[in-house]
Structure 1
Amino acid sequence: MDYQRNSHCKFLIAIHLILVVKYRKKLLKGELGSIVKNSLISLSQNSEFEIEQMEVDQDHLHVLMTISPRYSVSQHVRRIKQHTTRVMWQLHPNLKRQFWKEKTFWSDGYFACSVGNASAETVRKYIQDQG
């Protein structure tokens, strides 16, 4: 991880984020998991966060990410959930069978914790071993 630089400050804000599929449905193995990961990578290219490591398990997503302090963690999470849900429903409108036509994909909450630079490798290894 590199420190982000601008003319006035340096920062390294690393977050371990976990998102859970609504109703804990086991939908993330295979194609749907790949879609989530690819859409998140695409989003990160035009956003103020970088993905350091990411992996899916059957019903949840782990992401180690570095974020800009310009936006709060909840703002980053909201954008991630909105974007990935929109992509999932565009590519798989049959999700209405899973979610009773409600255009949702993720549970309401999320888990996020800050990761100190010294332990980032430990979190990275943990995420790599998921799934």
Structure 2
Amino acid sequence: MSRDVYSTNNVVFDCKYHVVFCPKYRRKVLVSPIDERLKELFLLKANELQAEIVHMDIMPDHVHVLIRCDPQFGIHKVVKHLKGYTSRMLRQEFKQLTSRLPSLWTNSYFVATVGSVSLETVQRYIEEQKDR
């Protein structure tokens, strides 16, 4: 199985994260044309941050994003930038988002790592290093 790895000057990595977050009060505001514009803004900002949106799905009341990013920059910073930028831009472009929401996004989010190898495989690899 081939593995896509990325590198900076001093780190070689393969870090992907499943991130889920919701509009404030879980309001169902991410509908057309807002959802399409949100996708464009996510891609634009991720590119600026040198992160990659591997996959995304916008539901009316929440967002799923699969993100690859440099671990030195960190997933928290990527999510913070994505949420801040998209909130500001969407609220400027779609005034209906300002009437009932003090901000577009909740402060919280869910994040889980996504790996190309299982936990058991990594544990076995580490254990077998002594025998090499």
TM-score by length of 1: 0.81
- In the alignment, the residues of structure 2 paired with residue 7 and residue 71 of structure 1 have an alpha-carbon distance, to the nearest angstrom, of 13
Who is 1:111 aligned against?
110
TM-score by length of 2: 0.80
- In the alignment, the residues of structure 1 paired with residue 58 and residue 66 of structure 2 have an alpha-carbon distance, to the nearest angstrom, of 12
* 1:80–1:7 Cα change, 3 Å: closer
- Are 1:14 and 1:117, in contact at CA under 8 Å, matched by a contact in 2? no
CA RMSD of aligned residues (A): 1.6
* Aligned 1:35-74 pairs, distance under 5 A: 35-74=37-76
CA deviation string 1:17-43 (max 9, x = no partner): 001111111111211111111100111
- In the alignment, the residues of structure 1 paired with residue 85 and residue 11 of structure 2 have an alpha-carbon distance, to the nearest angstrom, of 29
Percent identity of the aligned residues? Answer: 26
- Which consecutive residues of structure 1, in runs of 5 or more, have no partner in the other structure? 120-131
Correspondence for 2:94 among 87, 92, 95: 92
Who is 1:5 aligned against?
7
Q: Secondary structure at the match of 1:55?
A: strand
Q: How far does residue 94 in structure 1 lie from its aligned partner after superposition?
A: 2.8
- Which consecutive residues of structure 2, in runs of 5 or more, have no partner in the other structure? 119-132
Range that drifts further, 89-98 or 78-87: 89-98
Aligned residues: 116
Q: How far does residue 90 in structure 1 lie from its aligned partner after superposition?
A: 1.3
- In the alignment, the residues of structure 2 paired with residue 79 and residue 85 of structure 1 have an alpha-carbon distance, to the nearest angstrom, of 10
Q: Secondary structure at the match of 1:117?
A: coil
Q: How far does residue 7 in structure 1 lie from its aligned partner after superposition?
A: 4.5
Who is 1:125 aligned against?
none
**Structure number with bigger Rg:** 2
The one-letter amino acid of 1:80's match is L
Who is 1:127 aligned against?
none
- Are 2:7 and 2:13, in contact at CA under 8 Å, matched by a contact in 1? yes
